């Protein structure tokens, strides 16, 4: 299984023994077959949906998802179109809005079938996706994000870009390119700084070369649609409490960019800096701090608490 390669990088104490194997399920959406990895727990009172970003997929995040599942929650992790085992009939057509539409529909469908509280855990780019999905659906009990990378923030674009100097002009540049080259697909590592995925060079290599994750080719139109998408203004966001669990030693997306966005959110928010962790948080003590934060979120959701503003 793909996830076992990633699990080997986690400290032994965070690897369930025996392993929590993902169960593959499939959900039909707009002509696509969406792959959703699951760790079912019918007796759990809370569910957590793990959302990957550009360069990840359910297998890459499953070791963290499995560590979360040990905390008495049910876990599910969808693969976005282009990534993982999701079947996408027209990869060149995929745009950022498709991801948001798919997740909103998936959350709505899951909540229609199961009324247990649903927490969204977004990693990297998935953090703002989780935030936006909560805003769209009103069906989310809590948003947890390792990053809140807002493409309307020039400093955020500077951090994310493979060539930082292009960050400030990227939205305008991509708008000009999109009509002619929007369907052209290139490796995601050409566009973003995958070299800063982890503090561990070997984990970075695994992430960047995985044919289901960092090795995927994405259409230029997808990047254009992300750079020019207008997310819900944080000052008007009232969908759910938000907890930012940002890696403190992140060399890709600096914590200050996400914190600036967090501080604008209207709902109660919390901040946990994961000590010694890179963008993919596998190091201690930060990984234990991440699990502790998720345990707190679980307990707050069960108690009906709305969280604590910073």
pTM for this model (two decimals): 0.93
Residue 21 main-chain phi, psi, to 5 deg: -80, 135
pLDDT above 90 coverage of the chain, percent: 75
91 three-class SS: helix
Show the domains of the chain with their CATH numbers: 2-303 (3.40.50.1820)
| Distance of alpha carbon 212 from alpha carbon 226, whole angstroms | 20
Which residues are paired to 187 by β-bridges?
217
Pick from 155, 162, 137: nearest CA to 237: 137
Check whether 170 has a pLDDT greater than 70: no
Among 122, 95, 102, 139, residue whose Cα is nearest residue 131: 122
Q: Looking at the predicted structure, is the pLDDT value of residue 24 above 60?
A: yes
Whether 308 shows a pLDDT value over 50: the answer reads no
pLDDT tens for 32-52 read 999 999 999 999 999 999 999
Strands (E), the chain: 23-29, 32-39, 47-51, 74-78, 118-122, 142-145, 185-187, 217-219, 242-247, 269-274
Task: Tell which wins on pLDDT, 291 or 161.
Answer: 291
pLDDT mean over 129-141: 98
Q: Are 115 and 129 in contact (CB under 8 A)?
A: no
* DSSP codes joined into one string, 248-303: TT-SSS-HHHHHHHHTT-SS-EEEEEETT--SS--STTHHHHHHHHHHHHHHHHHH
Axis crossing angle, helix 96-113 with helix 220-227, rounded to the nearest 10? 80
Residue 179 CB-half CA count within 13 A:
3
pLDDT given at position 166: 46
For the stretch 103-124, pLDDT in tens is 999 999 999 999 999 999 999 9
- Residue 140's φ and ψ, nearest 5 degrees, are -110, 135
φ and ψ of 156, to 5 deg: -65, -40
The span from the CA of 293 to the CA of 17, in Å, is 22
């Amino acid at each position: 299984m793909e996830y076992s390669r990633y699990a080997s990088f986690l400290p032994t104490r965070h690897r369930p023994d025996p392993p929590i194997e993902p169960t593959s399920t499939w959900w039909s959406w707009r002509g696509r077959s969406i792959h959703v990895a699951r760790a079912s727990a019918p007796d759990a009172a809370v569910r957590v949906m793990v959302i990957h970003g550009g360069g990840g997929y359910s297998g890459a995040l499953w070791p963290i998802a499995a560590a979360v599942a040990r905390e008495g929650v049910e876990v599910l992790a969808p693969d976005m179109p282009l990534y993982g085992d999701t079947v996408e009939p027209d990869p060149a057509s995929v745009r950022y809005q498709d991801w948001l539409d798919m997740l909103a529909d998936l959350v709505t469908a899951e909540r229609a079938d199961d009324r247990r509280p649903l927490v969204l855990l977004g990693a990297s780019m998935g953090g703002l996706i989780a935030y936006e999905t909560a805003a769209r659906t009103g069906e989310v009990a809590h948003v947890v994000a390792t990053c809140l990378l807002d493409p309307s923030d020039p400093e955020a674009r500077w951090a994310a870009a493979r060539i930082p100097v292009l960050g400030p002009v990227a939205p305008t540049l991509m708008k000009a390119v999109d009509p002619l080259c929007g369907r052209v697909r290139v490796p995601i590592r050409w566009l973003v700084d995958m070299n800063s995925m982890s503090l561990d060079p070997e984990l970075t290599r695994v992430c960047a070369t995985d044919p289901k994750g960092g090795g995927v080719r994405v259409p230029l139109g997808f990047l254009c649609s992300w750079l020019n998408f207008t997310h819900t203004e944080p000052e008007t966001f009232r969908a759910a409490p938000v907890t930012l669990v940002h890696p403190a030693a992140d060399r890709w997306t600096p914590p200050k960019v996400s914190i600036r966005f967090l501080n604008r959110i209207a709902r109660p928010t919390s901040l946990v800096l994961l000590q010694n962790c890179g963008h993919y948080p596998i190091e201690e003590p930060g990984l234990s701090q991440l699990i502790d934060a998720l345990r707190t979120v679980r307990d707050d959701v069960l108690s009906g608490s709305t969280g604590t503003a910073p």
